[in-house]
Structure 1
Amino acid sequence: MQLKSKITSIILCFILAITAAAQEEKNRAFWVHEDQVKPSMMMEYEKASKDLVSACKDNNVKDIQWSVASMDDGTYLSITPIENLSDIQDMDFNDLKEKVGEESFNKMFENFNKCYDNHGDYVTILVPSLSYMPDGLTTNTPGQDYRVWHRMDVSPANMQKLQAKMKELKSLFASKKSKMHYRIYKSGFGNVGDYYVAVISAKDAMDYDTKSVENDKLLGEEGQKLFSDMFNYVDAYSVKRGGMRPDLSYSAVNEIANTSKE
């Protein structure tokens, strides 16, 4: 009976391990609304954004949430986790509109519209199998709201080759116990062209730059060669800096646990 109990426990642990691994490897989707704000209108845009957040909080608006990241070039990303595309349709401001009235509601969004000429929506996918976060994959990095985005555009013909190199890079980071953790996102629905983005969190610009220098030394020539091999499959590469903006983000009280932090 004791042996049977031990076997049952072993099987249960095995099943739990498989389940945990499966959950860890599951890709996560995020709906992103991108506003390309004019340099002269950034202060106006942030005021409009804060007014919207205040209105949502004051009226306890349900069924909608977003986290905001701002980039140094005036790009603002409003990010919401989704399970599928139908979630996007279900997330709207009807609750707010009913509570504040149509005139006040329209005025709020008119204040946004004058701040940019270009904006749009798309889906991005967080890829655990390519991400390196040995302490656990999460977009929530307390005390590290600074962000650096490394974007790599790739042709369809080279996607598999680039993925293979990115997996090698993750293995190298892990073997060296690198402290430079990163999350990998790939382009999803609504994007034209294929690309990957490596997102790195830090306390501030100095913290990021210090980690970057230390990481280069840690990886050494092996890392240099692997990066060089990887970039053979990259059509275009760009880097943007910025950070998360909790002051421009909103989540209903019952949805705080699900709010994105990227």
Structure 2
Amino acid sequence: MSALKSTVWVTVILFLLPYLNIAQESKNQLFYIHEDRVKPSMIQEYEQISKEFKEACTKHNLQGLSWEVASTSTGRYLNISPLTNMAELDKNVMAPLAEKMGDEAFKDMFKRFNRCYDKHGDYLVYLNEELTYMPEGISTTTEGQNYRKWHFLHVTPDNIQDLKEKLKELKALFTRKGSKEYYRVYHNGFGTMGDYYVAVLSAIDEEDYAKKSKANQVLLGEEGKKVFDDVFKYVYKYEVESGSMHPELSYSPK
């Protein structure tokens, strides 16, 4: 039995090792994401309940939790909260809110949420400063630029390091050329199947994004095309999502 326990713990440690290594790097901010895949017919209702939930948090001065909200054109709503470490996941930060609202009212609000989607879940991602290109300072909130474009680069475990090196080369090229198209790079963490990097770009709207993208393509020229080709050699699946941030649904305690 003791041998079996040892084997199990070794397996668990080996499984968690990539995430522990990522977490130990000081340049990687950890984020907890709760994702709701909202039915098209329930988007308006979902956003109304989200506003009511934010109002309840503000009224009762919920502490210990803040979040930003993003949504994609495919109905994915991402509630994004920064974490200092994974131990914060053990805290029941909603307990004081449930007590102040009343248990029945609190549960009723989440019952209304649940009618808006058939699938939802939780996972972690890490903001990787080493791969992020924001020369004027890294920030997840880009004032006046709530439009978002997510570029997902799915990668197999044996190609992760090679892809990372190519993303470093890409950042170096953007830096050397003085590109005005800034981006943040995240890596998946605990709670997801498969590995990916995602580059997130901000703009005023779709037109502004297209204008920046075209100007950047011209700026980088053939050298940029070569680096991007090298990046995609290690990507087995590429996905793009468009959407926006929702400051009106975001919450930060006073």
Normalised to the residue count of structure 2, the TM-score between the two structures is 0.88
Structure 2 match to 1:31 = 32
Cα offset for 1:163?
A: 0.6
Once superposed, what is the RMSD of the aligned Cα atoms?
A: 1.2
Aligned residues: 230
Residue 233 of structure 1 pairs with residue 230 of structure 2: no
Cα offset for 1:92?
A: 2.6
> Aligned equivalents of 1:155 and 1:242: distance in 2?
27
Where do 1:98-247 residues align within 5 Å? 98-247=99-248
> Aligned equivalents of 1:76 and 1:88: distance in 2?
20
4+ runs of 1 displaced by more than 3 Å? none
> Aligned equivalents of 1:89 and 1:79: distance in 2?
17
> Aligned equivalents of 1:25 and 1:222: distance in 2?
31
Gaps of 5+ in 1: 1-23, 254-262
Residues 64 and 91, structure 1, Cα contact 8 Å, conserved in 2: no
Equivalent AA in structure 2 for residue 32 of structure 1: I
What SS does the corresponding residue of 2:240 show, helix, strand or coil? strand
Residues 66 and 80, structure 1, Cα contact 8 Å, conserved in 2: yes
> Aligned equivalents of 1:63 and 1:251: distance in 2?
9
What SS does the corresponding residue of 1:217 show, helix, strand or coil? helix
Cα offset for 1:25?
A: 5.9
> Aligned equivalents of 1:59 and 1:82: distance in 2?
22
Gaps of 5+ in 2: 1-24
Structure 1 residues 138-175: Cα deviation after superposition (integer angstroms, max 9, x where no partner): 11211111111000100001111101110110010011
Residues 69 and 246, structure 2, Cα contact 8 Å, conserved in 1: yes
Where do 1:57-136 residues align within 5 Å? 57-136=58-137
Structure 2 match to 1:50 = 51
What SS does the corresponding residue of 1:250 show, helix, strand or coil? coil
| Structure of larger gyration radius | 1
Residues 25 and 129, structure 1, Cα contact 8 Å, conserved in 2: no
Cα offset for 1:91?
A: 4.9
What SS does the corresponding residue of 1:215 show, helix, strand or coil? helix
Residues 63 and 91, structure 1, Cα contact 8 Å, conserved in 2: no
Structure 1 match to 2:21 = none
Cα offset for 1:63?
A: 1.7
Residues 134 and 182, structure 2, Cα contact 8 Å, conserved in 1: yes
Cα offset for 1:89?
A: 2.2
Q: Percent identity?
A: 51
Residues 71 and 245, structure 2, Cα contact 8 Å, conserved in 1: yes
Structure 1 residues 85-143: Cα deviation after superposition (integer angstroms, max 9, x where no partner): 11122253111110111110011000100111111000000001111111111112111
Closer/same/farther in 2, CA of residues 138 and 164 from structure 1, 3 Å limit: same
Normalised to the residue count of structure 1, the TM-score between the two structures is 0.86
